[in-house]
Amino acid sequence: MKIYGDDIQVFEGKVDDISLGYSPDGVAIVTLTATDGFESFSLAEFPAGGTAFSQEDSGSRVSSVLGVNSSWWTGGTAVSSGDSTLAAGTATGNVLQYLNTVSRSEAGAFFVSRDGVLTFRNRYYEVGGTALVMADDGSGDVAYQVLSRVSAAEDLRTVAVAERDGTTLSQESTVGVLRFGVRTVDLGEMLLLSDEIVEQRLRFELNRRDTPYPTVSEVQVSQQRQASTATIGLELGDPVEVVFTPPGVSSVTEQGVVGAVGHTFSVGAGWRTTVRFEKDPLGAVFVLGTSTLGVGSLGW
């Protein structure tokens, strides 16, 4: 099943269930429940003896995994070159879980796009893109009607831990622990080359999460008021800027990346697009050779 809005595809998946019903005033209603390609892909398993992979970058590892069995994924792919090199090793168990570990090791994104393409993006993907500006004062690319924010402490983390080859590694923000106590994020297994590189990955995580500040969580755009193909075409990881004007102060701009996109169609309220944001993962680092000028750490 494919769903389009203003001639732009917003979903592709397979129908899981069809239900028939009636509204109180006797209107017949057909409800389709569908999921994207991850549902069937999540059933894939490596051979019983596992599959050995040589040292390679994370994007190449994704391609190598998909090459083990062509039946695991038969649709299109868009795989970026990785910014991290992964150690040689043997993969066992569930294929999707392993690929999520590859993505987490890279600090990238792995998902099925709105047009059904299996997509892997490296952690610096946003550097090459132009941020979509969403503003409440008419100054941006898209006008939004509703904005939600999360508390300063919700995403705060002061200690990061991970595991490599059975050894648990950790990093902490000394100032963060002194000010806010121990708030731990566990990144799970890492496939990186050395303990030192894993520690760099942990510091990269803390650089964007050890300082609390309120941030935008999501905005809602009414397509009835302003048809916005730019909003419809957003994908996970795309760079965005949100401009909002709190009462009594000048406008504030926050940078982030797209964490989720949802579409709601209802009688009376029309078509609404909700964009959920994640804090800009590069906002706290300086990336050599780019215009990313965050402070606190060199990009890893």
Q: How far is CA 275 from CA 212, 216, 235, in A?
A: 22, 10, 10
The pLDDT tens digits for 88-99 are 999 999 999 999
What's the pLDDT score for residue 160?
93
**Segment 70-85 mean pLDDT:** 94
pLDDT of 47:
95
**Residue 184: HSE in the Cβ half-sphere, 13 Å Cα cutoff:** 8
Q: What is the pLDDT of residue 293?
A: 44
Question: Side by side, which strands form the sheet with 118-121?
Answer: 77-79, 118-121, 109-112
Q: Of 236 and 285, which is predicted with more confidence?
A: 236
Express each pLDDT in 93-150 by its tens digit: 999 999 999 999 999 999 999 999 999 999 888 776 788 898 887 788 888 877 787 6
Radius of gyration of the chain (CA): 21
- Look at residue 45 and tell me whether its pLDDT is greater than 50: yes
pLDDT at 151 over 70: no
- pLDDT of amino acid 228: 65
Q: How far apart are CA 274 and CA 217, in angstroms?
A: 10
Alpha-helix runs per DSSP H in the chain: 38-41, 58-66, 95-106, 174-180, 195-207, 229-232
DSSP code of 272?
E
- Give the model's confidence band at 296: pLDDT under 50 very low, under 70 low, under 90 confident, else very high: very low
Residue 74 has pLDDT above 80, yes or no: yes
Q: How high is the pLDDT of residue 245? A: 79
What's the pLDDT at 81?
A: 94
pLDDT at 253: 84
Q: Is the pLDDT of residue 300 over 80?
A: no
* Tens digit of each residue's pLDDT (9 = 90 or more) over 1-15: 999 888 889 999 999
Q: What is the mean pLDDT of the chain?
A: 86
42 pLDDT higher than 80: yes
